[in-house]
């Protein structure tokens, strides 16, 4: 399945990058690459995540990092839509 990022997810990843870059530019690049790699894996195994908080969504924890990818599966279109990326400690009720 094809993986695409919604605008919210793109902004989340940019925010993660900027936050980490202020402290360690190389680590910021590595973290974003690992998040994107985890998202790409969903294209091959879309149901490896668990049911998400919002109806019809799934969540996948990035192995070795404190980030969670929230996504939807559109099997008819052959597409995974990455909706958001959160830090595990982030308050998601906003």
In this structure, what CATH number is given to the domain that contains residue 40?
3.30.2310.20
Dist. CA 8–CA 73, nearest whole Å: 17
Count of the separate structural domains present in the chain: 1
Is 92 a domain residue?
no
CB 82 within 8 Å of CB 9: yes
Q: What is the pLDDT of residues 24-55, one digit of tens each?
A: 999 999 999 999 999 999 999 999 999 999 99
Confidence of residue 93 (pLDDT cuts 50, 70, 90): low
H or E stretch at 91: none
**Span 8-27, average pLDDT:** 97
CB 53 within 8 Å of CB 59: yes
Using the predicted structure, report yes or no on whether residue 58 has a pLDDT greater than 80.
yes
**Span 56-74, average pLDDT:** 96
């Amino acid at each position: 399945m094809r993986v695409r990022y919604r605008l919210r997810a793109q902004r989340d990843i940019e925010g993660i990058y900027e936050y980490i870059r202020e402290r360690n530019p190389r680590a910021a690049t590595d973290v974003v690459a690992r998040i994107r790699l985890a998202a790409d894996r969903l294209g091959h195994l879309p149901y490896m995540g668990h049911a998400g908080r919002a109806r019809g969504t799934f969540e996948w924890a990035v192995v070795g990092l404190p980030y969670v990818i929230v996504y939807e599966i559109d099997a008819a279109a052959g597409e995974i839509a990455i909706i958001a990326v959160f830090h595990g400690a982030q308050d998601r009720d906003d």
